[in-house]
Amino acid sequence: MTYEKSINAFKEAYKVIPGGVDSPVRAFNSVGGTPPFIAKGEGAYLIDIDDNRYIDYVQSWGPLIFGHCDSDIEKAVIEAVKKGLSFGAPTLAETQLAKEIVSLFDNIDKVRFVSSGTEAVMSAIRLARGVTNRDDIVKFAGCYHGHSDSLLVQAGSGLATFGTPSSPGVPSDLTKHTFVATYNDINSVKKCFETGNIACVIIEPIAGNMGLVPAEESFLKELRALCDKHGTLLIFDEVMSGFRASLKGAQGITSVIPDIVTWGKVIGGGMPVGAFGANSKIMSYLSPEGPVYQAGTLSGNPVAMAAGLASLKKIKSNPAIYVSLSQKAKRLMDGFSKAAASVGLIIVTDVRGSMFGFFFSKSPVRNFDDALKNDTQMFAKFHQAMLGRGIYLACSAYETGFISTAITDEMIEETIKAAYESMEEIVKG
């Protein structure tokens, strides 16, 4: 493959955009080479400006559960656009999408829409602090909840890629209220409670920002009990796993029930949408009903609502898609494992619904410290080799992959074949 146009485009972007990208991980710094500049998407494929074609396992980092340019979502967006791009006023679509979400969860009575996952989590934490009248929060090393100040401490994903545990520009007066615990380690959480007056504990129940690392059921149960004991609210960050791991996200897999949930990705169908929800009592603290303020001009944007509504209705009309998506993800990861074994390499894999992840590691990955043992140089070589064979994987060793309904069994086999060739090329040179 040639990338001449992308190389030139990257140089031009670098002149007017910091690092040439609008989100750091896209720069390909951790995997090497130049990021392909995308011209369009078609179903399971991405096509770059050099006309290279890739099977896409990123799917815009999760939201495109039906692949690129799904006809139903596309139609809904076009019809909405014809009526106006933004009103800054209530529309029926907001209520319709809220009803679709609320109908799936016994613990959710109301939701508030925002424009991003970062905004959803930031608002959920403010709400939790307002409800409990406490300042301190607990998060887990390796979990990424967006780039708001209070949460940019020991974050995964892009920050892990760049080896930065936190960011300059984040005041210590804010982060002193953030306690960092170890994922899947309840004793580390108990120590936080011994020191702080904890308003909430926020967790990715299926972590997707240190690679795919699910929380253990026993750990989540202990976490729920600990929060109940101290009158602390438990927040599930399902911006990535919501409607991805299952129809109900992590709540379709675990028996543990959170107090507040945040969503994004899929509920926007590819448009910028986030949301957070809880029972009526908790949500009554939110303005204009209560004193906790949150607002946004583009919150509940009619075009974004139309995309999300089309996406969610399509999912709910055929929830069996999760069985097929999971089977494909498992077959893909089994294929990667066998490809690695064929040349004497060992990888650790995991799957949750349509989400998959793999580590070049010899031991199980239960937390961020385990994830950091991943051979990132090997991942970079594998990423480059797969990209050259038309396979578009996440450009960080600490990200999660996604299967869309547009990915066929034949594409899975093509990807596995590419994995065998890539592994052999890496080991034998």
**Per the residue annotation, which of 144, 285, 392, 398 is the catalytic one?**
144
**Per the residue annotation, which of 139, 265, 314, 328 is the catalytic one?**
265
Name, in order, each residue with C-beta under 8 angstroms of 318's C-beta and a sequence gap of 6 or more. none
Tokens of 131: 């409800």
Neighbours of 329 (CB within 10 A): 26
Q: Where are the alpha helices (DSSP H) in 133-272?
A: 158-161, 172-175, 186-195, 217-230
Q: Residue type at 272? A: P
Is there a catalytic annotation at residue 285? no
Q: Encode burial over 162-195: b for 16+ CB neighbours within 10 A, e otherwise.
A: eeeebeeebeeeebebbbbbbbbbbebbeebbee
Is there a catalytic annotation at residue 110? no
Q: What is the dihedral angle through the alpha carbons of 130, 132, 133, 136, rounded to the nearest 10 degrees?
A: -100
Q: Residue count of the chain, please give it.
A: 429
Is there a catalytic annotation at residue 237? yes
Q: How far apart are CA 147 and CA 135, in angstroms?
A: 19
Q: How far apart are CA 39 and CA 165, in angstroms?
A: 34
Name, in order, each residue with C-beta under 8 angstroms of 162's C-beta and a sequence gap of 6 or more. 24, 29, 30
**Per the residue annotation, which of 70, 136, 185, 237 is the catalytic one?**
237
Q: Where are the alpha helices (DSSP H) in 53-204?
A: 71-83, 92-102, 117-132, 158-161, 172-175, 186-195
Q: Which residues are catalytic?
A: 144, 237, 265
